[in-house]
Structure 1
Amino acid sequence: MKKTIAIDMDNVIVDIETNWINIYEQEFGVKIDRNEMLGKPEDMAFPDPVAARNLLYKPGFFRYAPIMPGAVEALTELNKNFEIYIVSAAMEFPNSLAEKYDWLAEHFPFISWRNIIFCGDKSVVVTDFLIDDHLKNLDFCKGTPILFTAAHNVNITKHHRVNNWVEALQFLREHV
C-alpha cells in the first residue's frame, strides 16, 4: 500500500508570492521587493495590507498564478510511489474554488478529482505526510509535517523544512 501525501497549493505548488507581487504592482504601481517580505505575515508585507488582501478576492487571482519551479516534475515522480492528495483551505476565498480546480486540471491532469480536497480546516486530513507553508496546518498534522519555505515563514524553526521541490523529493525518497 502506498504512503499518502497531502500537498498544499498556495506557496507550495502555486507561486502565490510572485503572483501577489505582480498583481499588486499592476493595480497600485508599487514594486514590492521580495527580500522585504521575509519574515512578515503575508498581507503585512505590502504597503497597504488591506488593499493587498482584497486582491485575493479578485477574479482570476488564483486561476492564473504561476506554477512553482519543479512542482510538475516532483509530483509526477511522487505519484509513482505515493498516493497524492492536493489539500487547500480554499473555503477562506470561496471564489477560488473553481479557479483552483481549473488550475490543477491544467497543470496536474494526472491528479484525479477524487484526490483534491478543498476545505476550511486541514486538521481533518490524515496522511503520512503534509507539505505546507503554514504552521496552522502543520502543527495539527498527524503524520510527518514538512514546512515548505515561503517569505512569511523564513524564521520558523519548527518542523522539517524544504526550500524547494528538489529538497522535498530528496526527503520523501528517503521515507518511501
Structure 2
Amino acid sequence: MLKLAIDMDEVMADTWSKFIHRFKEQEGFEISAEMLHGKELWQAVPESLTPRVREWINEKNFFRDLPVMPGAREVVAELCNKYEVFVASAASEFPNSYKDKYDWLQDHFPFISWKHIVFCGDKSIINADIMIDDRIRNFTQFKGRPILYTSPHNVNVTHYERVNNWDEVAGLLL
C-alpha cells in the first residue's frame, strides 16, 4: 500500500472560515474572498488587526471546533481503503493545538488511528509516497508526489499538481 500524508489545516479543517467569522464578530471587520486572493490572512486585514491572527491561533481550543472541509470525511475514509493514510500537521508551531487537533481528529475522523497522526514542526521528516498540503514550503524536500490543495494564499502557485476540493482528490486518487 502506498503511504498518503494529508495536512490538516486548510485541507481537512477549515481554518479560514473560523478566522473570517472571528474578524466579523469580534472586530467588526468583514473579509471577502477577493481580499484573500493570493494573500496570507494577515495580509488581508488592516495592520492594526494583524496581531489578532497570531493571538487567536495560539489560543487554547482554537483548533478544537473547526469545520470539516466539505467532502473530507467521506473521501479520507475511502482513501483509507486504498492507501496507508497519515495525517501530518505542523502542530509544533502552535503548541496549544496538539490536544485540540487530536480531539478534533477523534471526533471527525475516528477511523484514523493515533498511530497514523504525525504532529511535527518540519514536514521534511515525512516519508510518504503522496502528500496533500496547502503549503508549498512542505514540498521543498518532499521526495514523493506533492499535491497542492487550493487555499487563498496559494492560488497563484502554478508549478504543482493541484486539487481544489475533496471531489477532485477522489477523482485523482481513488
* Secondary structure of the structure 1 residue equivalent to 2:131: strand
Name the SS for the 1:103 alignment partner. Answer: helix
Instruction: Identify the residue that residue 71 of structure 1 maps to in structure 2.
Output: 72
What is the alpha-carbon distance in structure 1 between the residues aligned to residue 20 and residue 141 of structure 2? 30
Aligned to 2:132: 131
Query: Which residue of structure 2 aligns with residue 151 of structure 1?
Result: 152
Q: Equivalent residue for 1:43?
A: 42
In the alignment, residue 142 of structure 1 is paired with which amino acid? K
- The Cα of 1:43 is off from its aligned counterpart by 2.0
Aligned to 1:109: 110
Displacement, 1:53?
2.1
Deviates more, 1:32-41 or 1:121-130: 32-41
**1:29-83 deviation line (CA, Å, top 9, x unaligned):** 2111122101012322222222222110122211011010000010011000100
Residue of structure 2 equivalent to 1:18: 17
The residue type equivalent to 2:147 in the other structure is I
Residue equivalent to 1:98:
99
TM-score (norm 2): 0.95
Q: Residues 141 and 42 (structure 1 numbering): CA distance in 2 closer, same or farther, change over 3 Å?
A: farther
- Unmatched tracts of structure 2, length 5 or more: none
1:131 match: secondary structure = strand
Distance apart, 1:106 and its partner CA: 0.1
What is the root-mean-square deviation in Å for CA atoms of aligned residues?
1.0
Secondary structure of the residue that 2:132 maps to in structure 1? strand
TM-score, length of structure 1 as denominator length: 0.94
Whole-angstrom CA distance in 1 between matches of 2:53 and 2:62: 12
Instruction: State the alpha-carbon separation in 1 of the partners of residues 100 and 44 from structure 2.
Output: 24
What's 2:53 paired with? 52
Deviations 1:140-175 (A, max 9, x none): 2110000000000000002100000111111113xx
CA distance, structure 1, for counterparts of residue 45 and residue 142 of structure 2? 30
